[in-house]
């Protein structure tokens, strides 16, 4: 049996979370077209007949972290690089120009002395491609795969190669030298249920609000209660830095917060397979980045 830990690295929005969600077959990491969607490393367990793999989905590494939250996100990603892993998957997006940010990520990948796979993502998008800018990497990486994380294109040969490169193990409770904990939100290994629910709500803010607001907000789940009628009651707060963002999140007549809540409730209900009542409010907290990150 193969047992190991695989680290996913790349720029923001390169498709790491989409790959992990579609590989495992359920949502473990939120996704959106905006940078800073993933704010902390996600560890998720993939199991099949050949073995068990812990995938570590890292936040995309920013070339220039200009705000405090981006700096903290980079710090969380850099800290995970010190953990013991068995394999590194370096994701690039051929639809974006190679720049300083990409060079920084590549420099970090080069420092890790473990087997590596280059994953060129978004091959389903051919209208705009800068693939020639990444061709030199094929001489550096012994294993190169072109995939579509969104459409699961070429997943099978990639997964075959992952298992080929991982070590053989006997301890089913460990992967990459790490103990596999029990009792969390399977297949997630480092996220409790409240954080998972908060992330699902935050995803809807990223998808439904304008360019600036998502980076000024976070979500805190204060209560999760199973009621006698079988409904799961969830009390959550959206925190934002300024009153003007609070007004925009609430919307005229409460329209926007109702819309966010409705989409989030449906997503949560699908994820936990239960009826959900979501009690969602918005608060102004200028210091939430220091308090919660």
pLDDT at 176: 63
Q: pLDDT value at position 145? A: 98
Looking only at the bridges linking them, the beta strands covering 2-10 and 51-57 are: parallel
Listed residues 156, 179, 202: the one ending a domain: 179
Average pLDDT, stretch 33-61?
Answer: 85
- Per-residue pLDDT of 59-77, as tens digits, reads 877 666 566 776 777 777 7
Instruction: Give the residue-averaged pLDDT of 12-37.
Output: 87
Residue 214: DSSP 8-state:
G
Any idea what the CATH number is for the domain that residue 14 is in? 3.40.50.300
Q: For 106-123, what is each residue's pLDDT tens digit? A: 999 999 999 999 999 999
Over residues 186-195, the mean pLDDT reads 76
42 with 167, same domain: the answer is: yes
Task: Please indicate, yes or no, whether residues 200 and 143 belong to a single structural domain of this protein.
Answer: no
CB crowding 197-227: b at 16 or more within 10 Å, else e: bbbbbbbbbbbbbeeebbbbbbbbbeeeeee
Does 274 reside within a domain?
yes
Tell whether 94 is covered by a domain. Answer: yes
**Do 175 and 210 reside in the same domain of the chain?**
no
d(CA 223, CA 105): 38
Across 84-88, 166-170, 248-252, least confident range = 166-170
Same domain, 18 and 163: yes
With the C-alpha atoms ordered 59, 183, 164, 114, is the resulting torsion angle positive or negative?
A: positive
Chain segment 199-234, per-residue pLDDT in tens: 999 999 999 998 778 888 999 999 999 998 889 999
255 within domain boundaries: yes
Together in a domain, 144 and 22: yes
Q: What is the DSSP string of 56-113?
A: EEPPPPPSS--SHHHHHHHHHHHHHTTS--SEEEEEEETTS---HHHHHHHHHHHH--
In a domain, 187, yes or no: no
Domain co-membership, 107 together with 166: yes
Q: Both 148 and 225 in a single domain?
A: no
Does 156 lie in the same domain as 250? no
Residue-range definition of the domain harbouring residue 48: 2-179
Quickly state the pLDDT bin for 86 (edges 50, 70, 90).
Answer: very high
Mark whether 275 and 220 lie in a shared domain.
yes
State which of 179, 211, 231 marks the end of a domain: 179
Same domain, 171 and 201: no
Single residue among 149, 179, 209 that ends a domain in this structure: 179
CATH number for the domain spanning 230: value is: 3.30.300.20
Sheet holding 2-10, edge to edge: 42-48, 51-57, 2-10, 87-93, 116-121, 144-146
Domain count, the chain: 2
Residue 184: inside a domain, yes or no?
Answer: no
**CA–CA separation, 23 vs 25, rounded Å?**
5
Q: Are residues 70 and 120 in the same domain?
A: yes
Return the higher-pLDDT residue of 51 and 73: 51
Q: Do 6 and 137 fall within a single domain?
A: yes
Residue 264 confidence (pLDDT) above 90: yes
Residue 169 confidence (pLDDT): 76
Cis check for the bond before 103: say yes or no (omega within 30 of 0). no
Q: Is 188 inside any structural domain? A: no
Q: What is the pTM of this model?
A: 0.84
Ranges of beta strands (E only) in 209-284 are 217-226, 232-240, 276-284
């Amino acid at each position: 049996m193969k047992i190991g830990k695989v680290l996913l690295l790349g720029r923001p929005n390169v498709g790491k979370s989409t790959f992990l969600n579609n590989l495992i077959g359920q949502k473990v990491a939120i996704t959106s077209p905006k940078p800073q969607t993933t704010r902390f490393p996600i560890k998720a367990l993939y199991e099949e007949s050949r073995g068990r793999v812990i995938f570590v989905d890292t936040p995309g590494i920013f070339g220039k972290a200009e705000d405090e939250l981006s700096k903290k996100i980079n710090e969380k990603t850099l800290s995970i690089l010190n953990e013991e892993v068995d394999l590194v998957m370096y994701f690039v997006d051929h639809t974006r120009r190679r720049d300083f940010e990409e060079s920084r990520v590549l420099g970090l990948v080069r420092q890790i002395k473990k087997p590596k796979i280059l994953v060129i993502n978004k091959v389903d998008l051919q209208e705009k491609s800068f693939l020639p800018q990444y061709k030199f990497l094929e001489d550096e990486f012994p294993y190169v795969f072109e995939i579509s994380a969104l459409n699961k294109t070429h997943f099978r040969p990639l997964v075959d190669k992952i298992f080929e490169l991982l070590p053989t193990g006997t301890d089913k409770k460990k992967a990459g030298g790490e103990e596999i904990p029990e009792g969390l939100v399977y297949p997630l290994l480092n996220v409790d249920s409240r954080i998972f629910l908060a992330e699902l709500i935050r995803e809807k803010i990223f998808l439904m609000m304008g360019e600036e607001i998502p980076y000024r907000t976070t979500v805190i789940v204060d209560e999760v209660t199973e009621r006698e009628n079988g409904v799961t009651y969830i009390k959550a707060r959206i925190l934002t830095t300024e009153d003007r963002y609070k007004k925009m999140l609430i919307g005229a007549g409460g329209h926007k917060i109702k819309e966010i809540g409705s989409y989030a409730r449906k997503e949560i209900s699908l994820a936990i397979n239960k009826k959900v009542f979501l009690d969602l409010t918005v608060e102004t907290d200028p210091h939430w980045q220091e308090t919660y990150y």
